[in-house]
Amino acid sequence: MAALNNPAPQPDFNLLSHGLHTALGEIERLPNLPAIAGGQIILAEIQQMRDENRAEFQQTRNRFQQMGNEIQLVRNEIQQVRNENREQFGRLHTVMGTNDYNGAARVQNTYLSTPLDFIFPFLNPSTGAAIPGFPGTSAEIDQMAEHDVDAVLQQLGLRIDALDLAMKRRQLRVHIGLRAIAQVERSA
């Protein structure tokens, strides 16, 4: 009962109402503060920074894309060089193999003793292909027309300019390894 007789301090609603009205009036004045009033300026600055960052990011993305394209171009060029090197290696392999074959044929042809012995045929040094119209015997060389001799010499990669037919035939004989004796024996 003593608690009922001695009441604790009670709120003053009038004072509370007056305080809330005072606080509300002050809250309404908050936009007048320079920091809040400048909020639009701050927001505009933030938006501008955001736009600048987006633009820089897009520029960076574009640069990376351009670098990627340039790297792809370099890769393509490297692949092209590799392909060219493979082709050149293939041609070199063909030339070397053909030169070996022609060298062996030249040696074999040095052992021929009569104009009717079969000549070991040569291959085109550039392509490795059989040479059309290549003579089968030493005697056939003497029967070849000039344009046929020219065609065979050209296929062998030899110069034919400023030579008469006899010189061209001799050039062919020497190049393929025939001895001059074979021609002498035929005429005897």
Residue keyed to tokens 């074959």: 101
pLDDT of residue 9: 85
Handedness of CA 105, 124, 150, 139 (dihedral sign): positive
Angstrom distance (rounded) from CA 130 to CA 152: 10
Average pLDDT over residues 111-138: 94
Distance CA 158, CA 152 (A): 9
Task: Specify the higher pLDDT residue, 105 or 46.
Answer: 105
- pLDDT higher than 80, residue 89: yes
- The pLDDT assigned to 140 comes to 95
* Neighbour tally for 18: CB within 10 Å: 11
Whether residue 131 contacts residue 155, with contact meaning beta carbons closer than 8 Å, is answered with yes
Averaged pLDDT of the chain: 87
Residue with the larger pLDDT of the pair 131 and 40: 131
* Residue 4 pLDDT: 62
The tens digit of pLDDT for each residue in 135-184 reads 999 999 999 999 999 999 999 999 888 789 999 999 999 999 998 644 44
* Residue 1 pLDDT class (50, 70, 90 cuts): low
pLDDT > 50? residue 79? yes
pLDDT at 182: 46
Residue 6 has pLDDT above 90, yes or no: no
* Nearest-10 Cα torsion for 146, 152, 154, 159: -60
Give the per-residue pLDDT at 161: 82
Q: Is the Cβ–Cβ distance between 157 and 122 less than 8 Å?
A: no
Lowest mean pLDDT of 39-48, 82-91, 92-101, name the range: 39-48
Nearest 5 degrees, angle CA 125-CA 127-CA 131?
Answer: 70
